[in-house]
Structures are given as C-alpha cells and as structure tokens.
Chains A and B, each alone.
Chain A
C-alpha cells in the first residue's frame, strides 16, 4: 500500500513564506493533493498536481513535485494568520487501491 508522510508542525511569522513537505511511497501515484482543515471543519481542496507536472502555481500557492524522490511540497507566500490550519497532502494511485491516501497532516501556526 501507499504511505504518505509529513512533518507534524510548522511555525512561521506573518508575511513569511511557509513550506510544507510531504513524501509518498507509491511511484504510480497519479494525482497529488493538498487539503486544508480548520478546527471542527471538513477538508478544503487547495490545489492538486498531476504526476507528469513538476510545478503548479495558483495565486499564493506553489506546488513542487519531485517524482524521482517522491517528494511534494506546498509553498504559501505571504502567510497570513488565516492560513493557520492543518494541511494534509494526499496521493491517489493504483498502488493505494485507487483511493486517496492521506498524510499525517502538518499543523501550521502563523504568529504575528
């Protein structure tokens, strides 16, 4: 099966960039996602990238994919206090059984 790993915690100052990292094990993963979860809420899809892409940028969000190393990152530019949340990366692939496998989640704390 697929394993997806993330660091548990990240703290940044408001206005700085945040970089959240994720590694996965299944090389056949086709889609890779970043979700945001605020306390007591469901998951909000932030962005996703296909496995044949290296980078995707969407406003303040930049996703980088290193397929060789099976490493995914999410960069949030000009981080704001409203960005404080848990961020999950997730991988979809046949090795994971054609379903989403979630990482452990990274708690992002933005300090003033």
Chain B
C-alpha cells in the first residue's frame, strides 16, 4: 500500500514552454501533498505544500506564478512549470500525506529544459 505515482517520469521541453507534472496517490487519500525539488547530489528542497481544495503554501524564494500547483482532489496534485528556462531543469519529487507525520514519495520527474 501507500503508492504514489508521478507522470511523466522524464520530460524534455523547449525554453519558454510550460510543463505539467502529475502526482497521484494510488491507494489512499491524501489531504496534503508536497512538492520538492532536488539538485544533483543535493538534498530535497521543499517548494510548496498543497491541501486539497485550497491554495498552496509556497516556501520562501519559490515563485508561485512560475510554479503553479493545483490540488484538485484527494488523490491528485499537479505542478505546472510555466515559461520554463534551463535553470528550471531539475528532479521534481512529490509526496502525499494521508495524515500528519506520514509522507509517501513519488518516483520523481526529471525535467530538462533546452
């Protein structure tokens, strides 16, 4: 149990375009989902926390207009990177939390912006 999927697993896009990444909890409902960014050989950096039906809470320094988060249901959250630039290339990981203290992570999405 407690499986989280992400789609796509890898994406390459041109500079200036937008990319949407989906995060789904497959066998549980997640009241809260988190989006992280991981740079090579680095730890995970929390970008934002999203609760179903409400606006996401962004961490300091994360542009909410650039990284649009939608938590449409208890099993789906999406992250849209708008007007992507090469510096947005990274590994994006989501996690889903059915209750406080429990987080299950997705397999990650490798974004490359050319």
Contact = CB atoms under 8 A, between A and B. Distances in A.
Interface of A: 30-31, 35, 40-45, 88, 92, 98-100, 102-105
A31 B101 contact: yes
Interface of B: 4, 6, 34, 42-44, 46, 49, 93, 95, 100-101, 103-108, 110
Contacts, number: 41
A102 B4 CA distance: 19
Contacts of A35: 105
B73 to A, nearest CB: 21
A39 B42 CA distance: 12
A8 B44 CA distance: 15
A45 B105 CA distance: 8
Given A42-B93, A43-B93, A100 B43 contact: no
Given A99-B34, A99-B46, A30 B101 contact: yes
A88 B105 contact: no
B105 A103 contact: no
Contact of A99 (B49, B93, B108): B49
Residue of A30, A92, A100, A103 with most chain B CB atoms under a 10 A cut-off: A100
A41 B49 CA distance: 21
A105 B42 CA distance: 7
Given A42-B108, A92-B101, A105-B42, 5 more contacts: A42-B105, A45-B105, A88-B44, A103-B43, A105-B43
A35 B104 CA distance: 10
Given A99-B34, A99-B49, A43 B43 contact: no
A42 B106 CA distance: 6
A101 B91 CA distance: 18
A92 B34 CA distance: 13
Contacts of B110: 40
B92 to A, nearest CB: 10
Nearest to A92: B101
A102 B107 CA distance: 17
Contacts of B103: 45, 100
